[in-house]
């Protein structure tokens, strides 16, 4: 069950570094209650990333309805990126807080439902996001994107649906 850490979330991540290793060491020292508390703090941090991802998906849908395809692609990717970060943080114990983490967004844990499909989809969304955010060339139009805006949003929604199930069943987190 997620519990808000007594310090800021970012400070928690920086001090603990890898919550799985940290709580394992605490348990080895005989304090299983403290170890469980560390894991509940980690679950809270992950839930915040996951909820941010859900928020990005809502914004992507609004952007699509407003015919703002660049924003829709960007928000669709960030929906997946943040939910992926939550899942990876819980399964691995840590995530990078630097730009290199974007390359790890499709690296979902073994056993994640439809893992290959959604991993490829997150990679495609990342490429769409790069075009949407940085490509100022005319003449490409929608041909530059490997996914349609609708497909991008649907993929994000599908991934979040799967992640919701994993987060709830494996970690007791509801988003």
pLDDT in tens, 17-30: 999 999 999 999 99
Instruction: Grade residue 142 by pLDDT with cuts at 50, 70 and 90.
Output: low
Tokens found for residue 102 = 């974007």
| 86-100 tens-digit pLDDT | 999 999 999 999 888
Classify residue 102: in a domain, yes or no: yes
Classify residue 33: in a domain, yes or no: no
Classify residue 81: in a domain, yes or no: yes
CA pair distance 27, 46, nearest whole angstrom: 21
| 34-82 tens-digit pLDDT | 999 999 999 999 999 999 999 999 999 999 999 999 999 999 999 999 9
Classify residue 44: in a domain, yes or no: no
CA pair distance 10, 3, nearest whole angstrom: 15
Classify residue 135: in a domain, yes or no: yes
Instruction: Grade residue 112 by pLDDT with cuts at 50, 70 and 90.
Output: very high
Q: Which of 159, 133, 169 is nearest to 50 (CA)?
A: 159
Task: Assign residue 144 the CATH number of its domain.
Answer: 1.20.120.330
Highest mean pLDDT among 117-121, 138-142, 171-175: 117-121
Domain of 138 in residue numbering reads as 51-171
State yes or no: pLDDT of 144 exceeds 90: no
Classify residue 21: in a domain, yes or no: no
Classify residue 32: in a domain, yes or no: no
This prediction has a pTM of 0.94
- Number of folded domains that form the chain: 1
């Amino acid at each position: 069950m997620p519990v808000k850490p007594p310090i800021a979330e970012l400070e928690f991540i920086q001090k603990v570094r890898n919550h799985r290793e940290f709580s394992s060491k605490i348990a080895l020292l005989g304090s299983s209650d403290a170890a469980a508390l560390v894991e509940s703090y980690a679950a809270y941090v992950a839930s915040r990333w996951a909820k941010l991802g859900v928020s990005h998906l809502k914004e992507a849908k609004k952007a699509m309805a407003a015919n703002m395809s660049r924003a829709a692609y960007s928000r669709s990717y960030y929906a997946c990126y943040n939910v992926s970060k939550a899942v990876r943080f819980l399964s691995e114990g840590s995530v990078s807080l630097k730009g290199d983490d974007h390359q790890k967004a499709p690296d979902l844990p073994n056993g994640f439902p439809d893992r290959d499909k959604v991993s490829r989809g997150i990679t495609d969304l990342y490429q769409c996001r790069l075009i949407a955010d940085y490509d100022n060339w005319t003449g490409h139009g929608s041909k530059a994107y490997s996914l349609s805006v609708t497909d991008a949003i649907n993929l994000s929604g599908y991934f979040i649906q799967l992640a919701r199930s994993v987060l709830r069943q494996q970690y007791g987190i509801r988003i």
